[in-house]
Structure 1
Amino acid sequence: MSTSDEIPGTGLITLDSLDLAALVASRVCHDVISPVGAIVNGLEILEDEKDEGMRGFAFDLIKKSAAQASARLQFCRIAFGAAGSAAAMLDLGDAEQVARGFVEDQKTKLIWEAPRQLLPKNKVKLLLNLVLVAATTIPRGGAITVSAVGEGEATEFKLATEGPHARVPANVLDLLAGRAPDDRIDAHVIQPFYAGLVARAAEMTVTIEAEVEGERIVTWARVAA
């Protein structure tokens, strides 16, 4: 099927498996290309620079960028990758670790209140993808609070984001529901679209609501009725 094909009776946009794989790979490359490029720049400085101050700067740049690239790859391995067999169970503790390494910085704080437990792979993949979606609701930074309700197959997730000018990005709700702007999918919008695919595979529904005069956004992933 092409990106303009629809499942009869659902109105959902579908993707050829090769197109989906290519777009997700493009997203992963986008996430790691910046720190990898910074490592290359640092190595070039070390090769050409004799000043000890600049060499120290280059070492710091390489160290920081390598840690960032590693954190992003570890996150993407679980959020987008196989990370075990189709029936694998994943640890929420591992999800917290990779999520913290990916999203936490000087502007964004991650508050993880979900208890450690083993959950079906698609539930954990969905949670990590929703962390990415939640981060887009606070473009100027803030806090993302992740919590879980229930246990095992009945576990549901709540992600609350707070920050200045918090907002739900345009089209994200449609993308999560499998509907695309202009009936097309590209690398710029593949992540929330992919999150919706994972939600349906996990038999969960995702809702996003604005609260407290637009300064707080709440994302729920609930078990489908």
Structure 2
Amino acid sequence: MSGTSTPAPAPDILELAALLCSRVCHDLISPVGAIVNGLEVLDDTEKPEDREFALDLIRKSAKTASSRLQFCRLAFGAAGSAGAQIDLGDAQTMARGHLEDGKITITWNLPRLLLPKNKVKLLLNMMVIAQQTIPRGGVLTVDPVGEGDAISFRVTSTGLNARIPQNIADILSASEAGAIDAHAVQPYYTRLLAQDCGWTVKLAAEGDGIVVSAS
């Protein structure tokens, strides 16, 4: 009997759409649930301090939900018609709104350019992957590789206990990726975006940081 396993089949179009929807729902369920909890407190109490706490929870959670929706629309959604271009300045705004959460800060060194939407979607997904390499927080530094229409990206994450999640590295490299589920669909989608751009995405340790690069 061979010691090698047969790779799991790639998800078909319908399954990929369902998995991406599950991923978006996962990102939104926490802040939306907090809004519901806040509204229930408002319904159940007349104490001024409790009502103020509930209103503050609703405000913060609504802001978080809005930021995540805007980011997901750009990173996973259609974001305009086929052939559309997206301003890197808008991508920066969306990335900061979603990823800068008190633990993560972003150093953005990209010029302001209009780029094909799948390149921008790829960049945002690379940043999500980079965020997962520093679970205790840190800095994401976004740099250009090349310039003009040929520009690609390099995202460096630095932080305490930065590490490479092996399952993500395997999915990006298409080696022993295993079954693609709602937890694995984001790096798989990143790989598909890179292929559409004619690139591959690499995840590697470099000095004290982890680098996600596309070329």
Task: Give the TM-score taking structure 1 as reference length.
Answer: 0.89
Give the aligned partner of residue 210 of structure 1: 205
Identity %: 55
In structure 1, C-alpha distance between the alignment counterparts of 2:8 and 2:107, rounded to whole Å:
34
Residue 13 of structure 1, CA deviation:
4.7
Letter in 2 for 1:36: V
Residue 177 of structure 1, CA deviation:
2.7
Counterpart mapping for 1:1-225 below 5 A? 13-179=9-175, 181-182=177-178, 184-212=179-207, 215-222=208-215
Residue 150 of structure 1, CA deviation:
2.6
1:169-218 deviation per Cα after TM superposition (whole angstroms, max 9, x unaligned): 02212211334543x11111110011001110111111122122xx3111
What is the DSSP-based 3-state SS (H/G/I as helix, E as strand, rest coil) of the residue aligned with 2:166? coil
In structure 1, C-alpha distance between the alignment counterparts of 2:122 and 2:46, rounded to whole Å:
48
In structure 2, C-alpha distance between the alignment counterparts of 1:42 and 1:141, rounded to whole Å:
28
Name the count of aligned residue pairs. 210
The two structures, once aligned, show a CA RMSD in angstroms of: 1.5
What is the DSSP-based 3-state SS (H/G/I as helix, E as strand, rest coil) of the residue aligned with 2:101? coil
In structure 1, C-alpha distance between the alignment counterparts of 2:175 and 2:25, rounded to whole Å:
24
Compared CA separation, residues 216 and 119, structure 1 to 2 (3 A): same
Compared CA separation, residues 179 and 84, structure 1 to 2 (3 A): farther
What is the DSSP-based 3-state SS (H/G/I as helix, E as strand, rest coil) of the residue aligned with 2:93? helix
Compared CA separation, residues 44 and 12, structure 1 to 2 (3 A): closer
What is the DSSP-based 3-state SS (H/G/I as helix, E as strand, rest coil) of the residue aligned with 1:204? coil
Whether the 8 Å contact between 1:13 and 1:179 is mirrored in structure 2 is: no
**Superposed structure 1 runs of 4+ greater than 4 Å apart:** none
Residue 101 of structure 1, CA deviation:
0.7
Q: Which structure 1 residue ranges, 5 or more long, are not aligned?
A: 1-5
Q: Which structure 2 residue ranges, 5 or more long, are not aligned?
A: 1-5
Compared CA separation, residues 84 and 180, structure 1 to 2 (3 A): farther
Give the aligned partner of residue 3 of structure 1: none
Whether the 8 Å contact between 2:42 and 2:51 is mirrored in structure 1 is: yes
Residue 151 of structure 1, CA deviation:
2.9
Letter in 1 for 2:195: R
Compared CA separation, residues 143 and 42, structure 1 to 2 (3 A): same
